[in-house]
Amino acid sequence: MAELTTTDMALIDKIFGMYGGYVLDFSNDRFAAFFNRDLKIDIYHDRYAIYGTSKGKHFRAFLEISPNADVVRTLTALWEYRETGMLDRGEEETVPNARQRLSSMLQKLGGKPLPSDPNAAPAPPPPAPEPKGPSEGVLLALEQEFLALTAMDEAPQQRGYTFERFLKRWFDVWGLDAHASFRTAGEQIDGSFQHEGSTYLVEAKWHSRPADAAMLHSFQGKLLERPDWTRGLYVSYGSFSGESFDAFTARRLIMMDGADIYHALNRRLDLGEVVRKKVRHHSERRQPFARVTDLFPA
């Protein structure tokens, strides 16, 4: 037996005219033919005559004693018949929110909702997504700050501190949760940041000469004394010597030089994506130093 409430029956009457004795514009013969042909149901069987002999009373009895699945099939087919007739005649819907209310009833009975209105106005396009990442003004200021660094005429140590502070701002702008430089027992760490579940320690060298293998070994030693999820980013403004790659095997560490920083800033590259591509390149090729211009061809 269908689980229809008094409110449900009232809605069906408004949409299909059940209590008036009629059902839509069907004659007796067409009503019987519709149920036989489209639904394989004998609507004039004696079981549906408990309230009387009119189309509406047979329909009401059918709704009250039939299983949910048959009621869902019937209401859906009648709605399609009704909608087609209204479209052909150019009629407007007179029952408020008829489609939505009948759809809710069908779903309550275990069926599918009615298809969307083919004549409904298209839904407005979704609002444009908010731009992600830092603004152009912030990125331009970082680029100018880096270029100013290259023209600094200060003591090497002071220039190194300024470089570390610049790197922290750059990491933070891209949401990498950077920490400033800190000391632990017997060692100096130039900073750290978070990326995809890993903590990266940073070694920052503002030297015009390339970093050599001894410098890389020293930094890697700091990483290997820490948990496995710790990785490293070695930033050498003056890049890296050729012999450093022959004498050093990088474990959990990637490299970046001054040219990488400039191109990433100038091209407004997402720093998190730069790190991601460097890590993947090293994992696949065993090359901890991949230039930004190779990873991001113009």
> Per-residue pLDDT tens for 71-83?
999 999 999 999 9
Place 120 in a pLDDT band, splitting at 50, 70 and 90: low
Question: Taking 70 as the threshold, does the pLDDT of residue 2 lie above it?
Answer: no
Place 29 in a pLDDT band, splitting at 50, 70 and 90: very high
> Per-residue pLDDT tens for 210-265?
999 999 999 999 999 999 999 999 999 999 998 888 889 998 999 999 999 999 99
Place 169 in a pLDDT band, splitting at 50, 70 and 90: very high
> pLDDT over 90 for what percent of the chain?
78
The pTM for the full model equals 0.58
Count the Cβ atoms, other than its own, within 10 Å of residue 61: 18
Strand order in the sheet with 192-195: 192-195, 198-205, 230-236, 253-257
The mean pLDDT value for 282-295 works out to: 95
- Residue 155: predicted pLDDT: 73
Question: Which has the higher per-residue pLDDT, 221 or 3?
Answer: 221
